[in-house]
Structures are given as C-alpha cells and as structure tokens.
Amino acid sequence: MAWLSDGALASESSAGNIAVLYPEIGEPYRSIFVAILQGIEDQSRGHVINVPVVDGSALADLTADLHRKGVKAVIALGRAGLNLAAQLKGQWPVVMGCVLSLPEAHLGMGPALSLAPDPALLFARLKVLLPSVRRIWVVYDPRQNDWLIRLAGEAARSLGLELVAREAQDLRAAVRQYREVFQQADPRRDALWLPQDSSTVDEAVVLPMVLEESWGRGLAVFSSSMAHVRRGALFAMYPDNTGMGRQLVRMVQPYLSGEAPVASGMAPLRDLLLAVNTRTAHHLGLDLDARRLHVDMIFPEP
C-alpha cells in the first residue's frame, strides 16, 4: 500500500489550503509531475502542501497533519494519488488528475481532469490544417472512452463536422473496424482520429497497420498521443503539464471559495501543445508555413 513519506509535508510556515497527493517515482515520469506541481503552485500562489506518496507511514499520521495544516481540499494525481485520496474517506473534497479514465472504485469521489485532449481543440486544429475535411472517423472502446466520444460528437457538430464512431472492445474487432473505415473513407474529405485507447489503438499491431494503410491511401491520421506523431501521424495535441496544474487549481477553487463545485466525472484537458510530422504533411501536400500554426514539437526531429 502507498502512503505518505516521512517529512513529506511542507513546513509550518506554508499557508497551504490545498494538499497535492502525487506519486514519488523516477524519470522520465518524475519531470511530468514536477511540471504539474509547478503549475499548481503558480495558480494557487503558493498555498499548497505537496505530499509525495511512497511506501510507509500511516494514514492516521497523514490525516492529522492535513487537519493541522488547515487543508480545505485535495488534488490527487495518478493512480497512487487516487488510491491514497480514496482512503481519506470523504474528509476533504477531492479533484483528481493525470489519469486517462477513472476506475470504478473512484467514481463519485469528485471531478477528474483526464489526460485526454479536448476533442473540440483537436478538431479545431484539424480544420486549420485540412479545411477540406468534413468527416472524422474514430474506433473506440466504450468502456474506456464513452464519455470522450460523447464530447467529441458535440464538438464535431459545433464545428460543422460529422463524427463517425465505431465501437470495438478487443484487438480483433478493432482491426475489423479499421479495415471497414479504410474501405469507406474518402481522403479528400475524411480524416481518422486515434484516441488514447488500449483496446483500439494497440501500439504493436493496430498503429503500424493504420499508419501504413493511411499513407498509401493519402488519408490524414491525427492523434491524442504525441508518440504517434513520431511514428507518422500528421499531428497530435498533448498535455502542457504546467498548464494542467493550473487547470486543476481552477477546478478545486470552488471548494475553497464556497462556490458551486465542478460536477463529478471526467473533464478533457484544454492546456495543450501541438506536435506535427512534417514528412507526413509534405506527403499529404500541406503547406505548414501557410497555416501559420504555432508548433511546439516537430517530427522527424531536425
């Protein structure tokens, strides 16, 4: 079981009203959490108690320390943070973050900020890069991404796009759905979106097949994962980790000010960066300079 490390709490001089529970892990993930914590600190003006979660110590020690330090709300990051927050059993309101989806045991604990990019922002970037696109295809597992596809449908309609969502709950079904997509998609007006979905975007089988087939057909593929751009997807939007920290504080602020809190459930990430594959863009005949987009990461790397 993961608990609070000895000496993890901030000093008594800290005016912290927010406790942040985050996993104490090594690189490369440690840098991600450091950036998120920096965003939390910046947005909350320093009223934060950081609680690295490791093995050891006792839950009673943690709750006593948080009460003594006047904590009003908790931000729980990653699976370790969520698991520890669940042990607090409702003593503080909780906002969760740095997860793709919520395990059933954590449903109802409070609002959660997903690592999934907001589809509205993804689709808006798609329209800038490919104004001719009118239809977006996506294959997804409803057990993982039903909430996200609902948001995506609303976002597509608001942008004058059609979203064609195909369900698949295992690798075999996903491969079959992608084959049907490639049979029906028109590269002149369609694009394929790859969400973060372990059932339908398998890195070893599905991704190579999709990228090879789309390259041959001239079909644009965009993604919710920067790693896919490295391998050939046209573009992706990925987390601005410091911005994620700021968004988490905005979600927790109503608990501190007595306003109506954010509704429980998943919320997509809106603080995002843009990665583009210039080789794929050239293959699709796109002039990136003419689009005047701010690009944060370019592949292949110069």
Distance from the Cα of residue 196 to its chain's centroid? 8
Q: Which residue has the higher pLDDT, 200 or 28?
A: 200
Q: What is the CA radius of gyration of the chain?
A: 21
On the question of pLDDT at 8 being above 70, the answer is: no
Lowest mean pLDDT among 9-13, 72-76, 240-244, 268-272: 9-13
Q: How far apart are CA 273 and CA 10, in angstroms?
A: 31
> What does the mean pLDDT of the chain come to?
90
Own/partner long-range contacts of 151-155 (Cβ < 8 Å, ≥24 apart): 151/118, 151/119, 151/120, 151/268, 152/119, 152/123, 152/193, 155/118, 155/119, 155/120, 155/123
Q: If you count them, how many residues does the chain have? A: 302
| In the predicted structure, residue 228 carries a pLDDT above the cut 70 | yes
Residues near 165 by beta carbon (within 8 Å), at least 6 away in sequence: 138, 139, 140, 149, 152, 153
Each residue's pLDDT tens digit, 262-301: 778 899 999 999 999 999 999 999 988 878 889 999 999 7
* Distance, CA of 291 to CA of 36 (rounded, Å): 30
Residue 94 φ then ψ, to 5°: -125, 135
Residue 56 pLDDT class (50, 70, 90 cuts): low
Binned at pLDDT 50, 70 and 90, residue 12 comes out as very low
pLDDT at 105 over 70: yes
What is the pLDDT, as a whole number, of residue 217? 97
- Count other C-beta atoms under 10 Å from residue 202's C-beta: 17
Instruction: Return the SS3 of 91.
Output: coil
Q: Which residue has the higher pLDDT, 13 or 48?
A: 48
